[in-house]
């Protein structure tokens, strides 16, 4: 595959390291940095692959050759900037691929609302990892497919929970939820209607988004 032409807005740690990796892969890269001192530092290594300027300004993007960019990656420390850089890249310059960094995960909704996808939030990713390591209410998100409106969660059946000790066929799951696997004593199996759910089982459930609370109530005590 021929190399890509990638414009990276923001020469912070993320932008700089990304540029290094892409250049090593053989892609063509222009990094845009608006802080003069940071620009001079990065320029010592990246030389002509970094330009000084505010990437939210149209002329700066045009100087960097946005018309021929295959990919625009906005990774400044400012969510508004990242959002708008990607918005003009996509809608004004018809760049087919964009990637935005979202610094504050509370802004992820704004990126979605304005059609700026994918938006990557390191904070959000770490939060999810923490959730996986230290599950709250014994519930772990294994897979989220918001576009397809589908997710898979894993939970540990609580002592005295409504579902504990019941046949799978007697567990009254809400519509749009299905038990797909049970892990017991280190072994996983696909449950049948006559499988008894036991406290301590790890259960995988596929469900429509929004049903987590109902499922948690059924399988975990004290929620």
Among 4, 14, 23, 114, binds another protein (CB under 8 A): 114
Task: Determine if 150 is a binding residue for another protein (CB under 8 A).
Answer: no
DSSP character for 125? H
Among 17, 25, 67, 91, binds another protein (CB under 8 A): 91
Could you tell me the CA-to-CA distances from 8 to 12, 17, 66 in Å, in that order?
10, 11, 11
In angstroms, what is the minimal distance from the CB of 58 to another protein?
5
In angstroms, what is the minimal distance from the CB of 98 to another protein?
16
Could you tell me the CA-to-CA distances from 143 to 28, 76, 149, 159, 205 in Å, in that order?
34, 28, 11, 26, 11
Among 21, 45, 96, 109, binds another protein (CB under 8 A): 109
Give CA–CA dist 60/62, Å, rounded. Answer: 5
Task: Determine if 110 is a binding residue for another protein (CB under 8 A).
Answer: yes
Could you tell me the CA-to-CA distances from 104 to 8, 9, 17, 60, 110 in Å, in that order?
19, 17, 21, 25, 11
Task: Determine if 57 is a binding residue for another protein (CB under 8 A).
Answer: yes
In angstroms, what is the minimal distance from the CB of 205 to another protein?
30
Lookup: tokens for 116:
């700026």
Task: Determine if 78 is a binding residue for another protein (CB under 8 A).
Answer: yes
In angstroms, what is the minimal distance from the CB of 36 to another protein?
19
């Amino acid at each position: 595959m021929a190399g890509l032409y990638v414009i990276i807005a923001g020469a912070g740690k993320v932008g700089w390291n990304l540029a290094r990796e892409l250049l090593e892969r053989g892609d063509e890269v222009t990094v845009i940095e608006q802080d003069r001192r940071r620009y001079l530092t990065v320029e010592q290594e990246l030389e002509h692959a970094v330009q000084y300027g505010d990437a939210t300004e149209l002329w700066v993007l045009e100087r960097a050759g946005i018309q021929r960019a295959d990919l625009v990656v906005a990774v400044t420390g400012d969510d508004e900037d990242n959002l708008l850089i990607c918005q003009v890249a996509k809608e004004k310059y018809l760049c087919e691929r964009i990637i935005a960094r979202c610094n504050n995960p509370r802004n992820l909704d704004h990126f979605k609302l304005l059609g700026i996808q994918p938006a990557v939030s390191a904070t959000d990713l770490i939060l999810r990892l923490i959730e996986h390591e230290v599950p709250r209410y014994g519930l772990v998100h294994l897979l989220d497919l918001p576009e397809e409106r589908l997710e898979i969660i894993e939970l540990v059946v609580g002592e005295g929970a409504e579902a504990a000790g019941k046949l799978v066929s007697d567990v009254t799951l809400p519509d749009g939820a299905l038990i797909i696997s049970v892990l017991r004593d280190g072994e996983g199996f696909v449950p049948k209607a006559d499988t008894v759910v036991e406290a301590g089982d790890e259960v995988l459930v596929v469900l429509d988004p929004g049903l987590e609370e109902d499922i948690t109530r059924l399988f975990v005590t004290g929620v």
